[in-house]
Structure 1
Amino acid sequence: MPPKVVIIGGGYGGSAAAKALDAIADVTLVEPKDAFLHNVGALRAAVDADFAPRIFLPYDNLLSRGRVVRDRAVRVEPRTVALASGRTLEADYIVLATGSGYPFPAKSDLDDSAASLERFGTTQKHLTEADRVLLLGAGPVGLEFAGEIKARWPQKQVVIIDPAPGILSEYSGPFREEILRQLDGLGIELLLGDSLAQDPPTEVGTAGEFTVTTRAGAEVTAQVWFRAYGVTPASDYLAGALAPARLASGHVEVTPSLQVKGQTTVFALGDITDVAEAKKAGAAMQHAEVIAGNITSLIEGGTELASYEPGPAAILLPLGPTGGAAELPGGELLGPEVTAQYKGADLMVGRFAETFGLGR
């Protein structure tokens, strides 16, 4: 019998690892959602009703030999995975790929795709009703969301507030200048080095006029607001010998080979790791490639494992379907046209549809 590999989490990294190991191991992918949610396209789904259904990709055709179990891991130890249903899975190897939580609409915490799609529809409705939108957070998510809103409704006013004195400080000056130039051209207002004295009185994402005051004394009136900050690693299921590897932040300590600290058969990837790099889908998929290779080596009796090396800072930041900029590894700057070709036009939906065997 081939060794049993249990992968917990069917996001970008977990799905990639499951697919890569499907031919050599007995793979079980544990995922509570009924479909893969292509988070890269989630912000456009919040403004475009026609685009929203395309970001939900069924797991049915992901694996040819293994299986996807719709369930949630509640207790994971080095050789066993206890599920919310009461079932326990035995494993020779475990891959932790549960990612992180983030405020809607960048991510959805709903497990049912129909319910998530309905929530995206509600967000579209509230945005349609609003003349002025407030976003808290000027990181990549807040800026991309602002660009999507302005591309769909050019007449709307969008205000972004962030306590940092500038945007995207981890990237080069020319890249930041290009993004600022485009934001200004779109009429997006930035209030940097400032924050709200208190949250708006309305529910996040719900239409209703309000006026709030920043700590610097500026007044902002809007009809709907969203948070665009606040990552929460999903790792509270670690137990037994795995529990010591969980840091206070929720991240999991890993070795250069992406094995959980102190373990030889348990690996972790993506947002939950303590790897010092930006937490992105691309990084999770690179982690998956390293882990799949290392598990394959161990299965075949090898002793030399590959190490993961974080790459230089790089980003593809669309501002709507035709705007944005990119900074490639090494510092090369790409403008809106090339950025749209890489990511902006369909936000890679077609690429991931092929990965999931949907051919669209």
Structure 2
Amino acid sequence: MSPTVVVIGGGYGGSAAAKALDDVADVVLVEPKDAFFHAVGALRAVVDPEFLPRVFFPYDKLLTNGRVVRDRAVRVEPGRVTLASGEEIAADYIVLATGSGYPFPAKSDVDDTAAAQLKYRQAHAALRAADRVLLLGAGPVGLEFAGEIKDAWPRKKVVIVDPAADILGGYEPGLREEIRRQLTALDVRLVLGTALKENPPTAPGEHGTFHVTTVSDVDITADIWFRCFGVVPSTAYLAGALTDARLASGEVAVTDTLQVKGQDTVFALGDITDIPEAKRGGSAARHAAVVADNIKALMAGSGELVTYQPGPAAILLPLGPSGGAAQLPGQGVLGPEAAAQYKGADLLTGRFGKLFGTHTD
């Protein structure tokens, strides 16, 4: 009998870890969604409904030997996982990969693919009808969303509000300058260093004209708004000895081998970890490789565990299919050509098609 590895969460890191262990362990992937949601393409899917089907990848071809259980983990402790259905799964190893919540539309908050796609189409219709758009948050999501909106509808007025004094803090000045230059060319208005006195009266993504004022007395009129900030780690299910590793932020404390602190057979990866780095799908995939190697080493009973070290700050920020900029290790700041080359028109959908067995192009 092969050891049982239960992976909680089928996002970027969880799916990669499950796939990497499928040949050597009895893998059980627990995931409430019926398909992987490729969040990198989410904002493109809002402005272009034809792109929408390309960001959903069914799990049925991910694993050859293991199984995917469509359910939600409600209690996880060393050696045992309890699901919302009441089923309990005994586990030799557990991988915590539940990621984080984030406001729609940057992430889907619906488990059923058909219902999720309907929600994105409704958001598209509301956004299409709006002449003026307000985005709250000038981080990567707000900036990328502005670029997508302006590429699809160049005449729409887009305003971004953020309390931060500048965009993309922590990155090189040249990157900020390049992104600001492109935003100016797109006629995207940045209102920085201030916040709204109160949120708009309409719900996020709801069409309806409103007027708001910032703390610095900037008046803004818009027809729709979206919240583009607010990462919340999804770790409320931790129980027993694992609660000791859950921090006040909701993140999980891990060692440099990505084992949950105080645990030998429980690992964590991706957005829920307390690793000091940007929460990105690429980071989660790198975590997954370390976790898979370490579980294999523990199963074999030989060799030291490998460690994970965060790399330097890096980002690929598209502003529509042909705009954007990047800051990459060893390459410095790169312009729109590089952003288009690395993410481009398909936003990495081809790569995930291969992972999930939906196509091999």
Q: Normalising by the residue count of structure 2, what TM-score does the alignment of the two structures yield?
A: 0.99
Note if 1:233 corresponds to 2:233: yes
In structure 2, the residue matched to 1:192 is: 192
Instruction: Give the distance between the partners of 1:200 and 1:334, measured in 2 at CA.
Output: 36
**What runs of 5+ residues in structure 1 fail to find an aligned partner?**
none
Per-residue deviation, 1:332: 1.7
Per-residue deviation, 1:329: 1.1
In structure 2, the residue matched to 1:158 is: 158
Instruction: Give the distance between the partners of 2:173 and 2:237, measured in 1 at CA.
Output: 41
Q: CA-to-partner distance for each residue in 1:19-70, whole Å, 9 max, x for gaps?
A: 0000110000000000000000001111101001110000111011001110
Per-residue deviation, 1:341: 1.4
In structure 2, the residue matched to 1:109 is: 109
Q: Normalising by the residue count of structure 1, what TM-score does the alignment of the two structures yield?
A: 0.99
In structure 1, the residue matched to 2:148 is: 148
Per-residue deviation, 1:331: 5.0
Instruction: Give the distance between the partners of 1:244 and 1:300, measured in 2 at CA.
Output: 28
Instruction: Give the distance between the partners of 1:302 and 1:223, measured in 2 at CA.
Output: 61
Instruction: Give the distance between the partners of 1:304 and 1:213, measured in 2 at CA.
Output: 58
Note if 1:54 corresponds to 2:46: no
In structure 1, the residue matched to 2:253 is: 253
In structure 2, the residue matched to 1:263 is: 263
1:61-140 mapped onto 2 (5 Å cutoff): 61-140=61-140
Contact 1:312/1:330 (8 A) holds in 2: no
Q: CA-to-partner distance for each residue in 1:147-198, whole Å, 9 max, x for gaps?
A: 0000000000000000000010111011111100000000000000011000
Instruction: Give the distance between the partners of 1:74 and 1:303, measured in 2 at CA.
Output: 34
What secondary structure is seen at the aligned counterpart in 1 of 2:107? coil
Per-residue deviation, 1:330: 3.2
What secondary structure is seen at the aligned counterpart in 1 of 2:201? coil
Per-residue deviation, 1:339: 1.1
What secondary structure is seen at the aligned counterpart in 2 of 1:313? coil
Instruction: Give the distance between the partners of 2:282 and 2:139, measured in 1 at CA.
Output: 17
RMSD: 0.7
Note if 1:242 corresponds to 2:231: no
Stretch moving more, 69-78 or 339-348: 339-348
What secondary structure is seen at the aligned counterpart in 2 of 1:89? strand
In structure 1, the residue matched to 2:43 is: 43
Per-residue deviation, 1:337: 1.5
Q: When the two structures are aligned, how many residues end up with a matched partner?
A: 360
Q: Name the amino acid aligned to 2:271.
A: D
1:303-342 mapped onto 2 (5 Å cutoff): 303-330=303-330, 332-342=332-342
In structure 1, the residue matched to 2:211 is: 211
Per-residue deviation, 1:334: 1.6
Q: Name the amino acid aligned to 2:91.
A: A
Note if 1:347 corresponds to 2:347: yes
Q: CA-to-partner distance for each residue in 1:87-125, whole Å, 9 max, x for gaps?
A: 000000000000000000000111001111000001100
What secondary structure is seen at the aligned counterpart in 2 of 1:74? strand
What secondary structure is seen at the aligned counterpart in 1 of 2:121? helix
Instruction: Give the distance between the partners of 2:59 and 2:169, measured in 1 at CA.
Output: 37
Q: Name the amino acid aligned to 1:37.
A: F
In structure 1, the residue matched to 2:275 is: 275
**What runs of 5+ residues in structure 2 fail to find an aligned partner?**
none
Q: CA-to-partner distance for each residue in 1:225-267, whole Å, 9 max, x for gaps?
A: 0000000000000000111100111000001100001000000
Instruction: Give the distance between the partners of 1:311 and 1:337, measured in 2 at CA.
Output: 23
Contact 1:172/1:331 (8 A) holds in 2: no
Instruction: Give the distance between the partners of 1:116 and 1:211, measured in 2 at CA.
Output: 30
Instruction: Give the distance between the partners of 2:187 and 2:346, measured in 1 at CA.
Output: 24
What secondary structure is seen at the aligned counterpart in 1 of 2:127? helix
Moved over 2 A (4+): none
Contact 1:324/1:339 (8 A) holds in 2: yes
What secondary structure is seen at the aligned counterpart in 1 of 2:62? coil
Per-residue deviation, 1:303: 4.7
Instruction: Give the distance between the partners of 1:184 and 1:47, measured in 2 at CA.
Output: 20
Instruction: Give the distance between the partners of 1:94 and 1:334, measured in 2 at CA.
Output: 39
In structure 2, the residue matched to 1:296 is: 296
Per-residue deviation, 1:338: 2.0
Instruction: Give the distance between the partners of 2:174 and 2:126, measured in 1 at CA.
Output: 35
Instruction: Give the distance between the partners of 1:249 and 1:174, measured in 2 at CA.
Output: 32
1:27-38 mapped onto 2 (5 Å cutoff): 27-38=27-38
Stretch moving more, 129-138 or 325-334: 325-334
Per-residue deviation, 1:335: 1.2
Contact 1:161/1:194 (8 A) holds in 2: yes
Q: Name the amino acid aligned to 1:258.
A: L
